[in-house]
Each structure stands twice: as structure tokens, then as C-alpha cells.
């Protein structure tokens, strides 16, 4: 059982920290920062709603990102479209295990893990879960740290497409799937930014 600190929080004391210049001011007296004029808010506005919308958008777009090919490999005049998973299988068959693992991690494990963690955090805040406070914040930080690695996939396709242009011998062309995948990555990045991890502690405090 996690112990919640008994000291009053900044929110309970009516204090707001400016997100731009970090000046602490009394929330009741100001709507914008007295020093830098940035808008002041106790918590990120509409955090849950915005995070839900972005997360569900990412989850929906992840389906076409996997169904449609992300690139076509044209060798000796013969083209073969690859989805994310068939690309991983092709890399394994070509004995390129390390690259296959990187693509699998960046395109399956990280985005799916991120969507699952976001949904878990949102649900846990909404039902007012009072346990595993620290663990949930650690999950949030892990997601923030590793979430950017999904971009590796986009870079991989764009680098391959620009490098492998050997005329009739071999060419790689990006396909529509990579656009859907890029949208998934961008939406999950924004979703993680929209979520305010302080809500985890707020709900536990409110029900103390």
C-alpha cells in the first residue's frame, strides 16, 4: 500500500506553477503568469478528454498501418509490397535478426505498449484507483522515454527509399501504410503530452 504524503499540495494551497517560466503564483489572483504572461492552469486543460481522443485515434489508425504495405521492394523488375509484419518476416528469412528485432520493437512493441499504457492510465484515473501510484508514474515516464523510438521505422523507410535507387536492379518505394504508421506515432506522442500525470495523485488525494 502506497502512503500518500500528508503535506498540503500546491493545488490545495492554491498555488500554480507557470509552465513556461516556472514562477509560482497564487492561482486565485491571476489567470496569466505575472512574469511572462503565459496562461496559468492548475492541470493541463481537458487532459483526460484530449488524451482519450488522441489515444483512440492512434489505436484506430494502427489497423490500416498494419494492413496496408509500408513499402514496395522492386528487384529485377519484380515488385513485392511489404507490410510491417511481412517486412519483419522477410528480414528474419534474410538472416538479418538484429534489424528484424529493431523493426519489430519500433513498429509493434513500442506503439502497442504505449497505447495500452495510455488506456490503463486513463482508466485508472477515471475510476479513482488509489493503489500503485508510484508504479503508474514510472509507467508514464517509461512511455515518455521509449515512445519516441517508434520514429525509427519512419526513418528506416525514408532512408531505404532514398538510398536504394539502383535503377532496374533494385528500388524501394514507400507505400501508404507508412503514412498511417507515422500518424500513429505522432498521435501517441501528442497523447502522452496531453496526459497530466499529476491527475494520478489528485484522485488519490481527493478520496483520502
Query: Least CB distance from residue 48 to Zn ion, whole Å?
Result: 25
Query: Least CB distance from residue 10 to Zn ion, whole Å?
Result: 15
Query: Least CB distance from residue 192 to Zn ion, whole Å?
Result: 23
How far apart (Å, rounded) are the C-alpha atoms in residues 135 and 4?
A: 13
The helix/strand/coil state of 146 is helix
How far apart (Å, rounded) are the C-alpha atoms in residues 26 and 19?
A: 14
The helix/strand/coil state of 78 is strand
Q: Which is nearer to Zn ion, 20 or 63 (CB)?
A: 20
Q: Which is nearer to Zn ion, 10 or 38 (CB)?
A: 38
How far apart (Å, rounded) are the C-alpha atoms in residues 154 and 119?
A: 24
Q: Which is nearer to Zn ion, 11 or 30 (CB)?
A: 30
Q: Which is nearer to Zn ion, 34 or 128 (CB)?
A: 34
Write out the residues near Zn ion by the rule CB under 5 A.
18, 20-21, 23, 33, 35-36, 38
Q: Which sign does the torsion angle of CA 36, 39, 42, 43 carry?
A: negative
Amino acid at each position: 500500500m502506497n502512503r500518500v504524503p500528508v503535506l498540503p499540495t500546491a493545488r490545495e494551497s492554491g498555488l500554480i506553477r507557470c509552465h513556461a517560466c516556472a514562477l509560482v503564483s497564487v492561482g486565485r489572483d491571476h489567470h496569466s503568469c505575472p512574469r511572462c504572461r503565459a496562461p496559468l492552469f492548475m492541470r493541463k486543460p481537458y487532459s483526460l478528454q484530449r488524451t482519450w481522443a488522441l489515444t483512440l485515434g492512434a489505436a484506430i489508425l494502427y489497423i490500416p498501418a498494419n494492413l496496408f504495405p509500408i513499402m514496395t521492394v522492386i528487384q529485377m523488375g519484380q515488385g513485392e509490397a511489404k507490410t510491417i509484419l511481412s517486412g519483419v518476416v522477410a528480414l528474419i528469412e534474410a538472416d538479418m535478426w538484429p534489424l528484424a528485432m529493431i523493426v519489430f520493437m519500433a513498429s509493434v512493441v513500442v506503439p502497442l505498449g504505449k497505447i495500452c499504457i495510455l488506456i490503463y492510465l486513463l482508466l485508472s484515473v477515471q475510476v479513482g484507483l488509489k493503489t500503485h501510484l508510484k508504479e503508474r508514474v514510472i509507467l508514464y515516464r517509461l512511455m515518455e522515454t521509449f515512445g519516441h523510438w517508434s520514429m525509427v521505422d519512419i526513418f528506416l523507410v525514408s532512408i531505404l527509399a532514398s538510398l536504394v535507387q539502383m535503377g532496374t536492379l533494385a528500388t524501394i518505394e514507400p507505400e501508404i501504410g507508412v503514412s498511417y504508421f507515422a500518424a500513429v506515432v505522432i498521435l501517441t506522442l501528442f497523447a502522452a503530452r496531453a496526459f497530466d500525470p499529476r491527475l494520478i495523485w489528485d484522485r488519490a488525494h481527493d478520496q483520502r
